[in-house]
Each structure stands twice: as structure tokens, then as C-alpha cells.
Structure 1
Amino acid sequence: MSLKKEKSIKFNFDVSAYRLIGRELITDRITALFELVKNAYDANAENVTVEFIDINPLTPNSKIIIKDDGIGMQFSDIKNKWMVIGTSSKRRERLSPAPHKRKVAGKKGIGRFAVDKLGDKLVLRTQKKNSAELLCLETDWSYYSKLEDSQLKLNFEEEKPFFTDVENKYWYDNGDKEVQGTTLEISQVNEIWTENDINRAFKELSKLVPPNPSKTNAYPFNITIKSPYKDFDNVKVKTQLIDFATKKVELTFDKKKGVQEILQYKKGSLNKIKVPERPCGFLKLTLYYFDQPAKSKYKKHFNSEIDGIKIYRDGIITTPFAEYVADRNKQKDILGIDKRRWSGFFERLSTRDLLGYVEITDENNPDIIESTNRQGFVENEAWEELRRFIIEQIVQLESFFKNAKNVERTKTKSGLGAANQDLKILKREIASVKKEASPKVQEKLRSIEANLGKIQGSVTKSINDYSKLEKESKQQENLFMSLVSLQTYAAMFSHMTKHTLGHILTGAEYFYNNYPNPNLEDRFISISKSIYKEMLKLRKGVDFMLKYAKSDTELEEINLKELIVNLFDNIYVDRLNEEGIRTIVEIKDNLILNYNRKAIEDIFDNLISNSIKALKNNNEKIIKCSSLTSSDEVTILFSDNGIGIKEKDKHRIFDIFYTDTAEEGGAGMGLYMVKTRVEAMQGNIEVIDNEFRPTGATFKITLPFKK
């Protein structure tokens, strides 16, 4: 029987909690300002004024005053909501009171501590309509700071007040029954506010609601800024509309049918298709792309930069931005748009080319959760899928514009060629006319001929320069493809080398310890043969890697069966044996392709690598490659009985940067590279019903003959 009497103990907050949930949590002044303005929105305010007094330079009279005409608070609200850390009031009541019924923006219950980032002292004045009393509350953060400093000098075990023990003064003043709302008067301002700072606050507050919201608010929400600066003296913050875009894309969803719109680029056309709901939930996405002329017009008209994509929940911005830095290259990129790998290729779009907004809701996207410091989102599957969704749409746009540029380049090249031909014809006609012309006319014609020669020379040079540029661009892309394949193969080669050298070392050690010994002659011969085979395997691996140093424009006759068997039996043999994977090759011995060897090896190298990953958790593991031929094409089927491809992902597996094997090092490049290589051969690749159903995947590659 236990002699111990159970007791209880409570958690307490150290007095330093004021800065942990204030200035050290919300470390950007504009974010702090946003939090306080959003509180006014949640309080049904229709008008908010943000006034800056004596903020450059700072004086004892420096103040920031945020005043709204919302519903105000009574003492019970102050006691049970404002003074409670992490209050659940807005999580319980997700709509503001009637008639506005706004979906409230705050949920964490700590946004009001953003005041500490702006100044050390707060006097809150608030009043409900029809109340004759104006409730006032004073919070002096400098007192908390002094108390914290004094406690550091005390013995740790000494009694000292906790955060929740500190008293905050409140009182009542006379009020006007016709007035309602809340005023936050922040004094002992922490930092100077320059005109640029006010300008930034103005621009960011203009993004509080989306530029073209899907729902029109029945009740307005007006923000006015007052400051000592001429351009921001009593100026109303207007929602900044988006104009001058080169292309606009809008995606929506149908919840009843359970489908989400996405973009799909195919054969020169950018289309919308419908796919099942993604793990991030249903959402709306509006994207605006700006080419260089459009950027110039936008910047000139709005005096603002193109700055990427914002996320809105129920009509109000979630995280307004990451913390501000003057150098845009150092700006945080929470969506990963500017940090995509291999960014030097494929004419990718960045946040300086795109404006846009994502519209999510509590109902449809409950698992997308803003981080407490308002500088990002909680890392989970829903957030990761949302980022992936946005990037995928941008990739489709990139493919569309890349094709458009290629078409334009082809037209330009064709136009230059036609112009060159026209100049030749014109010169011949002048030469013909010149024979019968008078000496005076001939002299004029010779001058014209000379000028035409110069023009033709310039056109010819332009054609040659254009062709050279095209060739260099193609070489860059081919180099990139080789690097992607080399990355995949390098890991395999390292694995193979480790095993091969291990076998060679074991045999060499046996020789070292036992040779000469006539009684072990047969054993020596057997080990010598084994070492020889391992050395041949190693040489084949080296030869395979050296192909990346060769030009990938050289064509040769390639026996497809021998190429694939070499990959299975020499290059990947150790990994396949280690994983217990059985391979089947059903290709005719005489199937010859006349193409670049490296390009074809790249295709099957990546397919094999993908299959090995897909078979990871199988008991029985099979990879099969077979072919069918007709009079005008060859069809190659590459299959495995691995985890397969989800129906909802089949439309995007060939997209650049798409991967579902990121944990195993997948970069989303392999299948994109395979598709690019196949299409360069005038062929086609697609996913079809798998021959190892119900699991697995089959890729169907079709290549035309005589092309």
C-alpha cells in the first residue's frame, strides 16, 4: 500500500512570456500591424484608421493609434478574452456577430501581443454601442521588462511574480452612447517609421483582401492611414486591382462532383482538366503572368513590383508575407517558386513574373494551418500538397510559354530565311535591269546593289547567329539531361563499385595469404576467373559512365535487346540481386534502332531506377521489357509489379519536378527527361493498364520507323 499522498502542481508563465509571444514571435512590424487591423475586421469594423504621430524622429510624444468602429468590448470581454492567452473565443465562434457574419481571421488567441513589437505601452479604450461608459485598460510592457531584469538577479528558488500575477490598470471614462469601437494607443514607440516604411505598410494592407474576390462583401472594410508624410496624410488604403497581365488563368472546383480544376499543357494548347480532390482540399487559384512590356506597364501604373502569389482564407490574407528584406533575392520563398532545382534551365517563371492568389476556406482546407509567427504554414501533408499544386500549375504555364517562344523563334528564323531569299531575287532582278540601263541609272543601281549586299550580309549573319544560339541552347538542355541521368547512375555505379571491389579484395587477400600452394591450385584458378569477371564488370561500368563525355548527336545502330540486357545484367546486376528483383526481356534479337546511344540508355536507365524504388516493399519483384513491331512503328512496354501510379497522379507524372519518391532522393526529373528524350525521337510515351494488375505500372513507348 502506497504511503504517498497525491498532490497537484500548476504550470505558470515566467514574466518573460510577454516578449516570447510578442516581439520575439512576431518579429516584423508590418505583420504586427496586420494582426491588429485584422482584429478590427473580426470586430465587425467598417472603418479603421492607423495614425502615426511623431514617428521620425522619435520623441516622448511618439504614438501609433489604431482606431476602429467595430462592436467594441465590455468588461467581461476584456477579462475573459483580451486578457486570456490563447483564448478559444474565435475558435468557438468562427463568425462575427450579425449582421456582418464575417469569417473571423484570428484563431490563435495571441495576435494582440503584436502591440509589443510596435511600442512599450498600450492604452486600450473600448465602448459598446448604447453604453455611457468608455472602458480603458493600460498595459506597460516596459514594466514587464524591468521586472524580468530584476528577477534575473534573484536566487532561482526565491518567490517572484509570474506573468499572470502582474496587475494591469483599468478604469472607466465618460462615453458617447452613439459611438462604438476600440482604440489602441501605442506609445513609447520602439522604432522610427520612415516614409518607405509607411509606404510598405500601405501596400501590404492593400492586400488584406484578394484583388478580385470571388464573393463581394456586403459590408465594407475601409482602412485609412494618417502620417506626417505628405503622400500618406489621411490616405485611404484601396484594394490594389491587377491589370496589364499578359495572361490570366482561373481555376476553381466542383465540390458536389468532387473534382478540382488544374492546368494541362498538351500539343501547344493550355487547357483546364478536372481531377479528383487533392489532399490539400478544394481551392481556387488565379494566376497572372507578365512578360517584360506588361511588367513595365504594371510598375509604372501601380508604382509596385510583381511579387508572387498570396494565400487567402475565407476572403482575408493568411500570412501576408515573409519578413521584409530590402534585397528581394534574400526574401523568404515559402511556396518554393524561386527555389526550384535546376532553375537555370527550361525558362522557368519566378515570383517576379507572376501575381496571383489562392483562395482557401476553413471548411475545405482545415489542415492548412498558419504558423503562430505568421511567417509561414505548419509543415504537414496538406501544406506540402498545396505547394506542389501551385508549382504544378506554374510548370504547365512554363511549358505553354516555352512552346509559344519556340513557335515565335521558328517564325523568326523562317522570316529571316525568306527575307534572305527575297534579297537574292531582288539582286538578280537589279542585275538584269542594269544591263539595259543608261550609265547614269547603272551607277544608281550599283549603289543600290551595294546597300542590298550589306543588308543581305546582315541577314545572313543573323541567320547564322540564330542557328548557333539554337545549337548552344540544345547543347545546354542535352547537358542537363545527361547530368540528371548521371546523377541517377552515379549512385548505382558507387553501389556496384563497392560490391565489385569488395569481391576483388576478398580474392586478392586469399592470394596474399595462401600463394604459392600447389594444393590450392584449382582454388587459385577459380578466384582468378572471379576477379577477371569482376574487373570486366567494373570496366563496363566505367565505359557506361564515360558515355556522358561523348556527344549526344552521334547516331549509331543500336540493338535494343542487347542494350537493355546490358543494363540489367551488368550495370544494375548487384542492385537487382540485392533487392531480389527478377527481370524479363522479350525483345526480338534483330530490333535495331538508329539513334544516339546515350539518349536511349538515359530512357531505360531512368525507368529501371524508378521501378527499383516502386518494388521496394514487394515480396515478389518483377521488371519486364517487351516489344511489338508493325510496318511503321515499334512499341516498347516497360512494366513492373510495384506500387503503381495512383489514378489522380497519372496526368502529372511526366511533369518536371513532380515526384512521390522525394524521401528516397527523387527530384522529379527522371520521367520528365524520359518523355523529352522520347519526343525528341518523334515518339510518344504514356501510362497504360498494367500487365501485372492489380498492382504495378506499364509505360508504353511508341517510336516511328524511318524518322
Structure 2
Amino acid sequence: MEQLQYIIEDKTIAYLLGTNNFTNDESAVLELVKNAYDAKAFTVTLSFFKETLVIEDDGMGMNTSDIRDKWMHVGKSEKEYDVVDARNKIRILSGSKGIGRFALARLGEKIELYSKKRGYTGIIWETDWNYSSLTEKEEIQESGTKIVISKLREKWGKKKVQDLVLFLSKTYNDTAMRITINHPEITCDIQKYFPEPQLGRNCLSTIELIYDSSSKKLSTTVLSDEFLDEAKKYCEGLNIKQAYVESNLLDEIEASEYDLTKEGLQLCLENLGDFSAQFYFSIKPTTIDVEKFMYKYAKLPEALPGGVILYRNAFSISSYEGKKDWLGFGKRSRKSPAAASHPTGAWRVRENQMAGKVEIDKKNNSFLVDLSNRQGLEENIYYQLLIKIIHVGVSEFERYRQNIVRSINVKNEFEKERADTPVFDKVVENPKLISTLSEQEAKQLVNEMKSFHKESKEAIKDKEDTEERYKYDVRILNVLATVGLKASSIAHEMRNDRNSIASNTECIIEALKEYGMWDELNSPDKTKKAYNNVPYLLKSNNEVSMKIIAFMNAMLSEIEKKQFEPKWQSIADILKRIKHSWESDYAWVVINVNMGEDVIYFISEDVLQVIADNLILNSIQQNEESNHLEINIDVKQIGEVLSFVYKDNGRGLDKKYINAPRKILEVHETTRRNGHGLGMWIVNNTAIMSGGSVEKISGEQGFTIEFTIGGAI
């Protein structure tokens, strides 16, 4: 049997693995810089001439054998995990694919490579990508490698070299090797892109994430200097300078979201390996917001531009050097566009507000696999989990900052908006008095006018904030309303079919008995297999029919116009109707309403209906495997509001919410794979819009929520 091998033309290889393999010229240059780093060089110099680029390093160089057996062997790489350089420092090698040398083909048509390995004769390797030659050269004395790339495919003018300097500063994350650029118009050394973070100078907050794959825990540390010290008096129980949160990823991440079992998720989180990230947050507040939210800085002197870079040891992965929003901050913020001061919406950081870096390791994170051209990562399950874990940490920062902003915003809602203005009132009533004002009165009038001007600007800003808030709420509610209206339309069409749906099963059973078939259909040999077990199928069909009827009844009764008309009415009567409706549909649910019959309150029925229905539905969905669920609703009128304590005896909150139960109120927050995460947000939003609030949530022994409702709606 004859053994065959592929024969590929040199120029074809150069095109496929060089010209066509690198996304841009900067990436190709970076590949050659990495080669110098892996060769233990302490300095690499890139010199640009009219039609030539010379890359020279003082690394360990190559000999004849290296060129023949390694350099010319496509796809072969003997690089290990790390090496020790001449200064006795460890370097994690960046190469492994054995194709990085073809970056030369991207840059130029002709290559001359001069190299010398200590103790060996120097060599010259030349190619025009049709033919390659190797010659030994005694005259080469210094160890290292010099590559002359001529007939450049692109012109390297000042702007293009400036772009390269920025690119290399972003992609090089080490100090072991000096990178020097020489160009007729630019001479510089490459500096690390990110300076040491300085709060109040180049960022407002730093967020450090450390993931421990053995414990499956993520540590999030926030340091902040965003708010004035005076803000502390509005932030009781909050440290406005720092926060620390430890998250258990087995609790935070739903295995089903990734088509994994719990055990599979645990294994993937372990295989992912340890990694860390550091983010730098900054914003540009308006003049009004600076005062309104007690911001310490109106502008940072050296604010870092947005963009997050992914580093694998000494170098970034080219497609993740900060240009694209690979962490999806923009998508998250568009999905949840609420302002930080929004009372119920979840604020999300924008991509232009966050700079930073994520650092992974070649060995520890080996399941994060490079694409063949090293221009990106395979977006496998481990990549998806990396993104998810980072989002968990960033969410902790978002929650921490939003709690501070919301606390400060309380002062804006309750403090007196306008001082008395007696001088202004006098002048308005009698404009002629303006000429008789004393110097003191004139100054007071000027101050009052300035105050009016400021309040006018604040009113415009408040109006814009309110509009944004309700646009956000309406977007979510419109989706729910549209779904509800479609379902209601179908329910109305089926209204006349309810009786037949409810009685069909019994009628079929009676007919089978009358025809003498029922006993035979119940015999053991006719009920062995579920798919042709007629009694079982009828029973299952009847259960589904009852659910359809329950759905129709709910749709037909809860969107009537009268539901939305506020009036004086008995709260006990409304809750009893809700209790009866749910207990009729779910025989395994018992609802106890504990309150006085004499509580009469001015409210529209839909407020109670929306809150009660969402709470009860949430209890049922969280305890679907139970055969008995008991719910207690205690109600009292305290002053101008109704106070509620809602409890169930179910399994309580998911582990991820035990230490931070208010997270369940955030929009789209859910542990159910197909859940929308809107139920508890609607409860919170409705309570706040009515003039009440959610006071307390606990979930270790069943689920408990305490809240108030007002009559503002």
C-alpha cells in the first residue's frame, strides 16, 4: 500500500496562513513580536523605511537545524508552557501553533532572515514565497534574529505607525522585553496601555474579580471615590467607599441554561480554571446631576477610554484588544436601560463607561482555546461561562452603585424645592417697586432669580429622567400587554366552548360504559403502555382541559374596565375573590387571608390583583413539585397605607438570593430556564407606583415578603 502526502505550493501556504489568516497588519506584526518574546529577547526593534520593515531582536536565535526542522515544518511547535530568560525570570510562551511565521507573508513579498544561535554558525534564510533558500554565514557574530521585510504590501506612514503603537501598547502586558519603534516621524518605546488606577484621576471606581475554580467562587472587590463624604448621611448601612461580595457560581448559574446537568456545570467550572479581571469605571455627569447625586467629580483629569482587553499571559488575544464590546456591556444596557436612580429598574453599565482587562493563563485556562490564527477564541461552553462569571461580578458592582444612587436620590424627592421669595412676589404684584429696592433686597431678588433659573433647569432634567423611566417601564409592560391581549382574544373566542371542554371527559367515559367498553379498557393488558392506556389518557386530557378553563377564566375576568376604576372598597372582599379563583384552579393550594373585615380603602382593584396574582403565581411555580402549598396573607391599615405580610410554606428562595434577597426584584432576574424574570419586578414596581414599597424579603423557611401599598394609582 502506497502512503501519500499532500504537496502544497509555498505561495499557497503563504497566502492561506499569512495574507489570508491575519485580520490586519498590526496583528501580523504582533505575531513577530511574540516570536521575539518567546526567543527570550530583552529588546525587539521595529524600524520602518520607505519600502522595508526591519525587525531585530537579541533573543537566542536559530541555527541551520532549527530552520530545517522547525521553521520550515508547518504546524510544528515544540514550545513548552514557559522558559527562563537570561535574567532568571519566567516567561509564559505565547506560541504553540507553528504557523505564526507566516505573518511575514501578510507584510511583504520578500523576506531575508539573519539569525545566530550561541555556539553555532549564523544563517541567512530567504524567500519570495515561491522559493526559499538557506545559507550559513560566518560573518554574523551577535546572537539574535534580524528580519528584513521588503516590497511591503502596505505603506507605513505616520498615521499607520501611530495606530500600531497604540495597538502594541494595548496588546503587550509585560515588562520583560522592550519594544522600540523607529520611523522617520516617530521614535518611541511601547508603554503599557493601562496605568495604575488612581481613583479621582483616571477612574471613579475599580472593580476587581478573582475566580477560584476549586471552590467555584467569585470574589468581587469594589473601591470607589465617586461620591462626596456628605452622601454618607443618606446611605445608612452602605459603605460608599468600598464593597466586597463573594458569589457561589453553582448557585448563581443555572446548569440548564447551558444544557448541562448540575454535575456537568460543576466540572466545567472546575475545568475553566482560575482567572482575574480588573475594571475601571467612570462617567461624565451633567452639572445638575453633580449636585443632585452628590458626585465628587464633574470631570476626571485623565479618564480612561472605554474598552476591555483579554490577556493570555504577556499578550492579548488580537480580536479582544478593546475595540469590540466582546463582554456584551452594550447589549446588557440596551436590554435594561434604566437610570441608576430608577426605583425598580436594574441599571447596567454602558460599554463606554468601563475600561479594564481580563487575565487568563495558557495552562490554567487551557479549555479557552485559541482559533488557529490566534486572532480569537473558540466560543465554546468555557468561553460562555467566562463571560457569565464576569457578568455576575459586574452585576454586584452595578447593584452596589445603584443602591447608593437610590439612597441619595431620596433627598431630591423629599427636600423642600423652593424657598419663600417675598421680594420676587412684591415685584410681580407691583413692578414699579423694583426702582425702590434696597441694596440688600436687590441682592435677594438676584439670588431668587438665579434659584428659579436653576430650578427650571432641574425641572427639565427631572422631566427627561421621568420620561426615560416610564419609557423603560412601558417597553416591558407593552410586551406583557400584547401577549395578554392575544391570549384574551383567544379566550373570548373559546368562551362558548368552556362547558364542553369541562364535560367532554365525563361524557366520553359514560359513553364507553354504555357501550360496555370501559371495564375492558381498564383491564391490566389494556393499561400496560401509557400511550394506549385510554383511562390514563382521558385523565391527563381532563387535567389539561381544567388548566385551559382556568386560563380562560383568568383572561376573561382580569382585564375588564371596572378593574381599573379607583373607589372605596373592601380589601377583604377583593382578596377573598382572588383566593377563591386560585383555590378553584389549584386544589393543592390553600390561601389564608388574615385581616379585619372593616378595612375600606380607596384603590383600584387591579393594583391588588396584579400584586397578589404575581406573588401567588411565583409561589406556585417555585413549588410545582409540592402536593400541598399554604399561603398566608396578613393585612393591616397603618396610617395612609396598607401593610401586607405574604408568606408561603414552600422551599423558599434559591441559594443565590439568600444573602441578597432584594435581587429578586430586579427586572429579568430569574432561576427558571424559560422564566421572564418580570413577576417580582412587577410586584415591586406596582407597590412603588401606588406610593408604597417593599420593606423586607426572606426565604430560608418558606418565602416571606413584607410590603406596603398606597392609594397613589
When the two structures are superposed, what TM-score results if normalisation uses the length of structure 2? 0.68
Residues 36-115 of structure 1 mapped to structure 2, 5 A cutoff: 36-54=32-50, 62-90=51-79, 92-95=80-83, 99-115=88-104
What is aligned with 1:159? none
Pair 182,428 (structure 1): closer, same or farther in 2 beyond 3 Å: same
Partner AA of 2:35 in structure 1: N
Deviates more, 1:249-258 or 1:104-113: 249-258
CA distance in 2 between counterparts of 1:377 and 1:355 reads: 20
Pair 652,311 (structure 1): closer, same or farther in 2 beyond 3 Å: farther
1:650-677, Cα deviation, whole Å (9 max, x unpaired) = 77954857757696474x6665565555
1:196-250, Cα deviation, whole Å (9 max, x unpaired) = 221121112122344xx8xxx6xx311111112x2x1x31112242552342325
**Pairing 1:191–2:154 present:** yes
What is aligned with 2:535? none
What is aligned with 1:484? 476
What is aligned with 1:514? none
Pair 173,600 (structure 1): closer, same or farther in 2 beyond 3 Å: farther
Partner AA of 1:314 in structure 2: N
Residues 139-538 of structure 1 mapped to structure 2, 5 A cutoff: 139-141=127-129, 143=130, 168-177=132-141, 179-210=142-173, 220-228=176-184, 230=185, 232=186, 234-240=187-193, 241-242=195-196, 243=198, 244-251=201-208, 253=210, 258=215, 259-262=217-220, 267=238, 269=240, 271-276=243-248, 279=269, 280-292=272-284, 297-298=301-302, 306-319=305-318, 321=320, 332-340=324-332, 341-342=334-335, 344-347=337-340, 348-405=348-405, 417=417, 420-421=419-420, 423-424=421-422, 445-446=437-438, 449=441, 452-453=444-445, 455-460=447-452, 462-463=454-455, 466=458, 469-470=461-462, 473-474=465-466, 476-488=468-480, 490-491=482-483, 494=486, 497-498=489-490, 501=493
Secondary structure, counterpart of 1:21 in structure 2? helix
What is aligned with 1:636? 646
Secondary structure, counterpart of 2:59 in structure 1? coil
Pair 140,535 (structure 1): closer, same or farther in 2 beyond 3 Å: same
Identity %: 21
Pair 626,380 (structure 1): closer, same or farther in 2 beyond 3 Å: farther
What is aligned with 1:130? 119
Residues 563-582 of structure 1 mapped to structure 2, 5 A cutoff: 565=579, 568=582
Partner AA of 1:174 in structure 2: E
CA distance in 1 between counterparts of 2:75 and 2:659 reads: 40
Partner AA of 1:367 in structure 2: F
1:453-509, Cα deviation, whole Å (9 max, x unpaired) = 46425524644663564365345424523432443564466456557646758999x
1:502-526, Cα deviation, whole Å (9 max, x unpaired) = 6758999xxxxxxxxxxxxxxxxxx
Task: Quote the offset at 1:596 in angstroms.
Answer: 7.0
Pair 488,454 (structure 1): closer, same or farther in 2 beyond 3 Å: same
1:343-391, Cα deviation, whole Å (9 max, x unpaired) = 5432543232222122222454333334344454322333223223333
CA distance in 2 between counterparts of 1:379 and 1:555 reads: 58
Task: Quote the offset at 1:638 in angstroms.
Answer: 5.4
Q: Is there any run of 5+ residues in structure 2 with no aligned partner, and where?
A: 223-234, 251-268, 285-296, 341-347, 428-432, 501-546
CA distance in 1 between counterparts of 2:314 and 2:614 reads: 44
Pair 63,619 (structure 1): closer, same or farther in 2 beyond 3 Å: same
**Pairing 1:121–2:110 present:** yes
Which of 673, 690, 693 aligns to 1:682? It is 693
Which of 506, 530, 555 aligns to 1:541? It is 555
* Preserved contact between residue 60 and residue 117 of structure 2 (Cα < 8 Å): yes
Secondary structure, counterpart of 1:85 in structure 2? coil
Pair 71,443 (structure 1): closer, same or farther in 2 beyond 3 Å: same
Task: Quote the offset at 1:42 in angstroms.
Answer: 1.6
CA distance in 2 between counterparts of 1:555 and 1:371 reads: 68
Pair 390,277 (structure 1): closer, same or farther in 2 beyond 3 Å: closer
Partner AA of 1:169 in structure 2: S
CA distance in 1 between counterparts of 2:457 and 2:161 reads: 50
When the two structures are superposed, what TM-score results if normalisation uses the length of structure 1? 0.68
* Preserved contact between residue 169 and residue 192 of structure 2 (Cα < 8 Å): yes
CA distance in 2 between counterparts of 1:319 and 1:554 reads: 64
Partner AA of 2:66 in structure 1: D
1:331-354, Cα deviation, whole Å (9 max, x unpaired) = 532110122233543254323222
**Pairing 1:25–2:21 present:** yes
Deviates more, 1:40-49 or 1:247-256: 247-256
1:400-453, Cα deviation, whole Å (9 max, x unpaired) = 4445555666657778746x24x54x88999xxxxxxxxxx9965357546634
Pair 35,126 (structure 1): closer, same or farther in 2 beyond 3 Å: same
Pair 184,363 (structure 1): closer, same or farther in 2 beyond 3 Å: same
Task: Quote the offset at 1:556 in angstroms.
Answer: 8.2
Secondary structure, counterpart of 1:223 in structure 2? strand
Task: Quote the offset at 1:26 in angstroms.
Answer: 1.7
* Preserved contact between residue 275 and residue 648 of structure 1 (Cα < 8 Å): no
Secondary structure, counterpart of 2:335 in structure 1? coil
Pair 8,83 (structure 1): closer, same or farther in 2 beyond 3 Å: closer
* Preserved contact between residue 22 and residue 116 of structure 1 (Cα < 8 Å): yes
**Pairing 1:561–2:587 present:** no
* Preserved contact between residue 563 and residue 604 of structure 2 (Cα < 8 Å): no
* Preserved contact between residue 41 and residue 60 of structure 2 (Cα < 8 Å): yes
Deviates more, 1:181-190 or 1:656-665: 656-665
1:299-357, Cα deviation, whole Å (9 max, x unpaired) = 6xxxxx603221222343234646x9xxxxxx532110122233543254323222212
CA distance in 2 between counterparts of 1:107 and 1:649 reads: 44
Q: Is there any run of 5+ residues in structure 1 with no aligned partner, and where?
A: 1-5, 55-61, 144-166, 300-304, 325-330, 431-440, 509-532, 692-697
* Preserved contact between residue 485 and residue 602 of structure 1 (Cα < 8 Å): no
Residues 580-599 of structure 1 mapped to structure 2, 5 A cutoff: 583-588=589-594
Give aligned pairs, total.
594
Partner AA of 2:352 in structure 1: R
Task: Quote the offset at 1:399 in angstroms.
Answer: 4.2
Secondary structure, counterpart of 1:207 in structure 2? helix
Task: Quote the offset at 1:620 in angstroms.
Answer: 6.4
* Preserved contact between residue 210 and residue 277 of structure 2 (Cα < 8 Å): no
Partner AA of 2:123 in structure 1: L
Deviates more, 1:104-113 or 1:269-278: 269-278
Secondary structure, counterpart of 2:18 in structure 1? coil
What is aligned with 1:529? none
CA distance in 1 between counterparts of 2:402 and 2:693 reads: 18
Partner AA of 1:35 in structure 2: E
Pair 108,173 (structure 1): closer, same or farther in 2 beyond 3 Å: same
CA distance in 2 between counterparts of 1:206 and 1:548 reads: 66
Secondary structure, counterpart of 1:202 in structure 2? helix
Deviates more, 1:456-465 or 1:167-176: 456-465
* Preserved contact between residue 128 and residue 180 of structure 1 (Cα < 8 Å): yes
CA distance in 2 between counterparts of 1:455 and 1:186 reads: 71
Pair 503,349 (structure 1): closer, same or farther in 2 beyond 3 Å: same
**How big is the alpha-carbon RMSD for the aligned residues of Structure 1 and Structure 2?**
5.0
